[in-house]
Amino acid sequence: MQNPNLEYLQFTDEIRICRILNGMWQVSGAHGKIDPIKAVDEMFTYVENGFITWDLADHYGPAEDFVGDFRRKFIAKFGKESLSKIKFFTKWVPRAELMTRRLVERSIDRSLRRMDVDSLDLLQFHWWDYNDDNYLRALEYLASLSEEGKIKNLALTNFDTEHLEIIIKHGIKIVSNQVQFSLIDLRPMVKMVDFCQKNNIWLLPYGTLCGGFISEKYIGQNEPGYFQLETVSLKKYLRMIDAWGGWQLFQELLTTLNKIAKKYNVSLSNIATRYILDIPVVAGVIIGTRLGLSENIKDNIKTFSFALDQQDKIEIQQVLAKANNVYLAIGDCGDEYRKA
């Protein structure tokens, strides 16, 4: 099931992951209509090619249900033992309200049922409002459920460094934090990477390809209008490009990446992904899968066929040096979800 052309990493004592995780935000309904049968069938294709790690969430439409369907079909075809290497990382994204043991457990039980599992490999917790310290109570209950075996590993998504530190000092063990991290959003480099290195916490970046903008498709193109964009990802990351430095500078970045890509006979998205993968504490990057609509398996495999040399990184950094300070403009990791 593992592909010798891919990279794998020992994420925890019991979990080994592929360093490109299959992101399932794209099945939530905001990236095109998904056929459930085709989607589950394509999950088999990703796994057969060695992409054995999936990232999803309770609010990604039918994502958890797709996992349950996939698991049942996979067990019927190959047996339960063969499923042990395939890992599914979900999220719990509750509304801000009083956190009770009953509410937390019912939410986790719902994910267990939908995914048809006895225990969640990784539960990534998100919280919208830091002014409401119920997030600490929620995490205490989640830690208790972890001790009981319903959650194997507890993690976060879109937490900033300050509140990650508060959680660690509160005595709650966190395995990873999922954050936006790309060549146009290097905010994790300011504080997060250093803190995670010191506290043995992995980062799981998303947005590394800016929703598809970091692609040969956009070289030499005029900036698209907001309402011309087909997916919510593209709309989101066009705003990020504008905050980072604008379309003209983005064109310079694409041209630079394309030059390096030709040197290694890979795609420029491979270059952008490899750059982030080479940063310490990055366990793997999450690349979206529009299951049944399009797939990027062959291109993703090429990410592991080369290594960036120092000159490559210097050329990329020369472009990045011209950009705005996104950290000053937006704040630390996840602050875009908490500021108007």
Q: What token pair was written down for 300?
A: 């993703």
Alpha helices in the chain (DSSP H): 36-48, 63-78, 101-115, 134-147, 161-169, 192-199, 232-244, 247-264, 268-277, 297-302, 310-320, 326-330
Residue 188 DSSP SS3:
helix
Would the pTM of this model clear 0.75, i.e. be above it?
yes
- Least-confidence region, from 23-27, 45-49, 214-218: 23-27
| CA-CA-CA-CA torsion sign (225, 227, 231, 236) | positive
pLDDT of 92 > 90? The answer is yes
Dihedral (CA of 335, 167, 86, 93) sign: negative
Question: Is residue 111 within 8 Å of residue 90, measured between CB atoms?
Answer: yes
User: Which pLDDT score, from 0 to 100, does residue 293 have?
Assistant: 67
pLDDT tens profile 145-178: 999 999 999 999 999 999 999 999 999 999 999 9
Least confident of 180-194, 196-210, 292-306, 320-334: 292-306
Residue 111 has pLDDT above 80, yes or no: yes
Write down the pLDDT at residue 129. Answer: 93
Q: What is the mean pLDDT of residues 120-137?
A: 95
Task: Kindly state the average pLDDT of the residues 242-255.
Answer: 97
Average pLDDT of 214-227? 94
Structural contact between residues 322 and 315, judged by C-beta atoms closer than 8 angstroms: no
pLDDT at 30 over 80: no
pLDDT given at position 294: 65
Count of C-beta atoms within a 10 Å radius of residue 105: 16
Q: Contacts for 322-328 with beta carbons within 8 Å, 24 or more apart?
A: 322/245, 322/249, 322/252, 323/184, 323/244, 323/245, 323/249, 324/243, 324/244, 324/245, 326/184, 326/185, 326/186, 326/187, 326/240, 326/243, 326/244, 327/187, 327/190
Residues 307-322: what's their mean pLDDT? 98
Alpha carbons 31 and 180: distance in angstroms, whole number: 19
Percent over 70 (pLDDT), the chain: 98
164: CB partners within 8 A, 6+ apart: 156, 174, 177, 192, 195, 201
pLDDT of residue 340: 45
Put residue 65 in one of left, alpha, beta given phi > 0 → left and psi -120 to 50 → alpha. Answer: alpha
Q: Can you tell me the distance from the alpha carbon of 7 to that of 294, in angstroms, rounded to the nearest whole number?
A: 23
Which of the four pLDDT bands, split at 50, 70 and 90, describes residue 292?
Answer: low
The chain-wide mean pLDDT, for the chain, equals: 95
pLDDT at residue 133 tops 50: yes
Residue 237 has pLDDT above 90, yes or no: yes
Rounded alpha-carbon distances, angstroms, from residue 308 to 42, 109, 175, 204, 322: 31, 44, 28, 20, 21
How far is residue 119's CA from residue 151's CA, in Å, rounded to a whole number?
A: 5
